Structure 1
């Protein structure tokens, strides 16, 4: 069993070293008794002069036991409430000791770990830039339930605490010092020595052993919640939260509520209120979805669950990129930032130089914002060689083509440049829809050919969709996976079926939005309701961004290649509408100023020509509009899992959120079904299918899982 090592020195200073079972210290069932026993000993200790709390692990403390928390059901909430209140009572006992308590933070202190630090009088962090300090619970749909909301609000004030509580901002030690999260930052080997020195320096100083909120006359920095000058800021924060979350993420609103209560209630009452809000959030579907995907699912994906096994890790040293346009220049920047030597090749030196200038512009912004010095920026820029000379590609470990999305163009560049790859080099095609098996058939080594679907803008979008062609070897997939992680992208590996995963799935929600307009419904209503289910933008606005012409061209190309049968089209009215808009009205999308909206002078108005499709007698509920737009990509994700296009539910969930804008509160399109309830979801699908067509029929995998009582994991 793990332990808290308890050592008292000749000066009466007790050092408690947390060394629990497992790789990290965590607030699990083992923690409570260990912590309570520690406080009991300290309260009974004769001649106690001070306490140092530190860790025997590489990290200081990792936070709550999410395996346990995600499994909590509503009927267990009373027991959980009492357990959390008991732990918080022990934390109060520690901070009320008559001697100073120091948190010696040797590594990362996040969530519950930083809450332990806040219950100490003084916080000293080791100077490790890889360490992070903060309260990220909101990113998992939770709030800090160990006193973090109340203590940080009392420490920093409502306004200053907001980024850390409402956004989950995490800081390295030096920045944490500047923000007031810690008192000192020292070299790691001086951490405990400095903690002892500080305790000895404040002997007899009652204030040093008293928390600010326990000091008589304490005022919250900036004023309490009742302060007239804070009232408009609180109202503004509330309005901003709703604008950002659309009421679909309860955690930020509840955190703000606790912050406000902390600013007007006595300290212990506010702590109890925080516990109630924590417990209420814990059993919400949003929290379960976000914990399942952003903690467990992301860990599974980044841990390489879909990466072919028993293949050594690899790194790309020299990368060739064909095409210095929007995608190519973004790949070049991301790769150079990761320390890779890049050859950015285009038809002319001028075009290649323009592509390199994109990296120069992004680096200049980093320098201007203090995120990089000029020497480092010059080093990164120096890794990119802009070129029009094929010979510069010779010896590349990997070449990625990012040329025009035409199969004949891609065939031409592989024929011209594949010979320049190093022996056993990997060829990657950046395509969102063209079949990898077909493209790879033109390669000299199809086993080394792989799809690498980047998302725009590459420097901001975190996902890389890796597509396995029929001939792609496991070694090539593993090397592509490793490259993705090398350039700090999250990789998912998918099968080579029409549209792969992301393009195929995002298309369903877009075309369903168009279908609703083609049926005669108000386009503004369709656009607004799709935003209110958590989509980043309305479906018609999204299609304008993607371009009606591009989507229609891809659809026609896929028909021409025999990949789609128009007789099997599930949304024929929508396809006919898009063809009419494009061919008869020249409505290409936002880039030309004319799509579903007219764009001019930074504003947009709905195109009056859409009245052609309006029907006065068209009736539909808001719920049906929203479910049609949300259920289509959910069902398509399940079909991708059923067909083997997806290798795991985690890949689908991460891919849908990071790549194609699945609403965050769902935890991803597949996870959404788990908390909706499989039987209930099937019943709703059947209802939609009866009203709107067989595209809403539940796939066999859904019925199978429901019959077996399984969840998608």
Structure 2
């Protein structure tokens, strides 16, 4: 066997050791799981075997299923169901053998890896700070399909099972022990194998709790799910899930169904129930989209796949951040977390100290929540060096400018800084709207000038747009991507242009929302439909956050506004100057922001823009999404983006575009290319040329026919 090692020691203990060939981690796929089944059959049918230890030859136990295998799965639903049932039969063979089986969890045990451990009679976990266990399949659109839902249910009860599975919770060793998901902890220095053998020798014959005749699922005393409060709990959970997902995530609904129906029957029938719901989930288009976007595309980008070939990795030690406002302070913080020394410069030392204070507040909050320690936080904060002197930047390996969004100010700072830094040092601007090639004119080395557009709040938002100017060299781009991956952010490469990709495209979402308000569509409807289609926030609320006054300033500097955008500019100007409602900062925008109370939509909008009754919710949702999708395609068509995958990554991580659609480019195939074309024509006829599809996209759709426009799966 290539991936599973099998041996028996002198005490009759069989070792089934995961050691997947040509892989840094143990993953479950068709090849590895079949070898595992073979080893299980050997161990359970061999009379000379007294006990079984399932362990790993790698740093971690088992990292879970191979998502590329699931993404490219082309067998029938029937074949998939039989594959799952074969998995269940093998795991049950392990459980029903009466031979003691121990899982020695030396590192991560996630997804299917934990499910294998759950089928063992005893679990020992190394108590290392980085070690975690969890059923994390929901985070990639799936749910546990190797018995995880039913064994969690029988160990934890419904409430914790729903919470842990739907939230993809990763538990530390201490948490896992407290929840009795593991039975024993050992230190990294202890011999985990010796502990496992000792337990086996003391327990020559065992039985799983759920195979006892009197076993009932925790929380259901009569075992049939009819106890007062149990059905109500599932109903409430279903309602809460719908409130969060709006029915867009079939995997979450199927988790709840599998748990509910599995609670009223024995383990074997329950595993069959799980298998049927898993098959339904795997074959949903939403599942494929989430796996492709969140695991394949984003995973590749996070590893720096966009880096130009032929350049050695750049190692950074000390960087300079110019501007200690919220963005600069956030950039300094994430860089310090990655172990880099950071000179945080502001016009005054007091301002720079406030920027460091921002990082201190984040760390203090983590300490209070038990997610960090004073020692760890102090080590991070020591990396941040507040300064008011440009001379303190002379030894930096990289400069990131994050001053106010004003071209003249940025140019002044560029010249001042380049006068003291080394010639080979890269200079990056955290601009969100001003073209990099324009800013690079103030630089004496435009080939070393690049854009790094972070998103707010920097410590939470994973995306960074790496913006290439006309003279930016490939060497500079490669080094910039090395920095972004070093600080554990996800880079996408964007060519220069006003608004770049995310700011430009997100503007279409906001513009459409404001336009619909002026048409008389109730603001609450606009906001709620936006959330219903999967956007995290409505266009009016985000406009208040961004600030309409700032939006006006940006529009006034853009010479390429369309007639539609010029009319919108007039509307926004009226809202700001006539109605005095610029946004959240001033406490008055599309919403009211009373002190100490929850915000609410300003009641006078219906007087200013009389409400209409004949609106179509589907059309509202599609207008919001189509506006972004069409402009994203224009970014690809014009060369602002090089790859549709970057559009999908950027839209999900930077814009909050619904992940179940796969992103802005995948959305075309999500609803069907022909339907997308036809509906866009309806919108264009009704609302204007902004919904007209470019000729090249119409040609692409025509050529694709019944096939997908962009990705095979």
After TM superposition, is the score higher than 0.5?
Answer: yes
Equivalence map 1:320-359=2 (5 Å): 320-359=320-359
User: Greater CA deviation, 405-414 or 383-392?
Assistant: 383-392
Equivalence map 1:441-456=2 (5 Å): 441-456=441-456
Cα–Cα, structure 1 residues 399 and 19, in superposed 2: closer, same or farther, change >3 Å?
Answer: closer
2:532 aligned partner: 532
Asked if 1 retains the 8 angstrom alpha-carbon contact of 2:302 and 2:488, the reply is: no
**What CA distance in whole angstroms lies between the structure 2 residues aligned with 1:702 and 1:180?**
55
User: SS of 1:103's equivalent?
Assistant: strand
2:642 is the alignment partner of 1:641: no
Q: CA deviation at 1:407?
A: 0.6
**What CA distance in whole angstroms lies between the structure 2 residues aligned with 1:674 and 1:15?**
47
Q: CA deviation at 1:231?
A: 4.6
- Residues 294-351 of structure 1, C-alpha deviation per residue, up to 9 Å, x if partnerless? 1111122123221111111113211212211111111121111111111111112221
1:151 aligned partner: 151
Asked if 1 retains the 8 angstrom alpha-carbon contact of 2:4 and 2:32, the reply is: no
Cα–Cα, structure 1 residues 43 and 459, in superposed 2: closer, same or farther, change >3 Å?
Answer: closer
Q: CA deviation at 1:263?
A: 2.5
Cα–Cα, structure 1 residues 388 and 710, in superposed 2: closer, same or farther, change >3 Å?
Answer: same
Equivalence map 1:693-704=2 (5 Å): 693-704=688-699
User: Greater CA deviation, 96-105 or 60-69?
Assistant: 60-69
2:710 aligned partner: 712
Q: CA deviation at 1:126?
A: 3.6
2:277 aligned partner: 277
2:115 aligned partner: 115
User: SS of 2:437's equivalent?
Assistant: helix
2:578 aligned partner: 584
**What CA distance in whole angstroms lies between the structure 2 residues aligned with 1:695 and 1:445?**
39
Asked if 2 retains the 8 angstrom alpha-carbon contact of 1:102 and 1:122, the reply is: yes
Q: CA deviation at 1:116?
A: 1.0
Q: RMSD of the TM alignment (CA)? A: 2.2
User: SS of 1:420's equivalent?
Assistant: coil
2:587 aligned partner: 593
Cα–Cα, structure 1 residues 536 and 710, in superposed 2: closer, same or farther, change >3 Å?
Answer: closer
1:416 aligned partner: 416
User: SS of 2:76's equivalent?
Assistant: helix
- Residues 597-619 of structure 1, C-alpha deviation per residue, up to 9 Å, x if partnerless? 22223233433443355356674
Cα–Cα, structure 1 residues 240 and 188, in superposed 2: closer, same or farther, change >3 Å?
Answer: farther
Equivalence map 1:351-500=2 (5 Å): 351-500=351-500
2:291 is the alignment partner of 1:291: yes
Determine which of 211, 216, 232 is the counterpart of 2:213: 216
**What CA distance in whole angstroms lies between the structure 2 residues aligned with 1:48 and 1:57?**
24
Q: CA deviation at 1:390?
A: 2.0
Q: CA deviation at 1:57?
A: 4.0
**What CA distance in whole angstroms lies between the structure 1 residues aligned with 2:709 and 2:56?**
37
Q: CA deviation at 1:289?
A: 0.8
User: For structure 1, which runs of at least 5 residues remain unmatched after alignment?
Assistant: none
1:77 aligned partner: 77
Cα–Cα, structure 1 residues 453 and 363, in superposed 2: closer, same or farther, change >3 Å?
Answer: same
User: SS of 2:424's equivalent?
Assistant: strand
Q: CA deviation at 1:281?
A: 0.8
Q: CA deviation at 1:101?
A: 0.8
Cα–Cα, structure 1 residues 163 and 22, in superposed 2: closer, same or farther, change >3 Å?
Answer: farther
Q: CA deviation at 1:400?
A: 1.5
Cα–Cα, structure 1 residues 127 and 310, in superposed 2: closer, same or farther, change >3 Å?
Answer: farther
Asked if 1 retains the 8 angstrom alpha-carbon contact of 2:521 and 2:612, the reply is: no
Cα–Cα, structure 1 residues 376 and 678, in superposed 2: closer, same or farther, change >3 Å?
Answer: same
- Residues 586-641 of structure 1, C-alpha deviation per residue, up to 9 Å, x if partnerless? 22111111112222232334334433553566743111111000111111222222
**What CA distance in whole angstroms lies between the structure 1 residues aligned with 2:42 and 2:616?**
63
Q: CA deviation at 1:172?
A: 4.1
Asked if 2 retains the 8 angstrom alpha-carbon contact of 1:35 and 1:90, the reply is: no
**What CA distance in whole angstroms lies between the structure 1 residues aligned with 2:588 and 2:217?**
53
**What CA distance in whole angstroms lies between the structure 2 residues aligned with 1:227 and 1:573?**
61
2:28 aligned partner: 27
Q: CA deviation at 1:465?
A: 1.2
Determine which of 682, 687, 692 is the counterpart of 1:692: 687
**What CA distance in whole angstroms lies between the structure 1 residues aligned with 2:167 and 2:481?**
30
2:599 aligned partner: 604
**What CA distance in whole angstroms lies between the structure 1 residues aligned with 2:130 and 2:185?**
14
Name the TM-score, length of structure 2 as normaliser: 0.94
1:67 aligned partner: 68
1:319 aligned partner: 319
**What CA distance in whole angstroms lies between the structure 1 residues aligned with 2:361 and 2:5?**
52
User: SS of 1:216's equivalent?
Assistant: coil
1:228 aligned partner: 228
1:650 aligned partner: 645
2:663 aligned partner: 668
Asked if 1 retains the 8 angstrom alpha-carbon contact of 2:522 and 2:611, the reply is: no
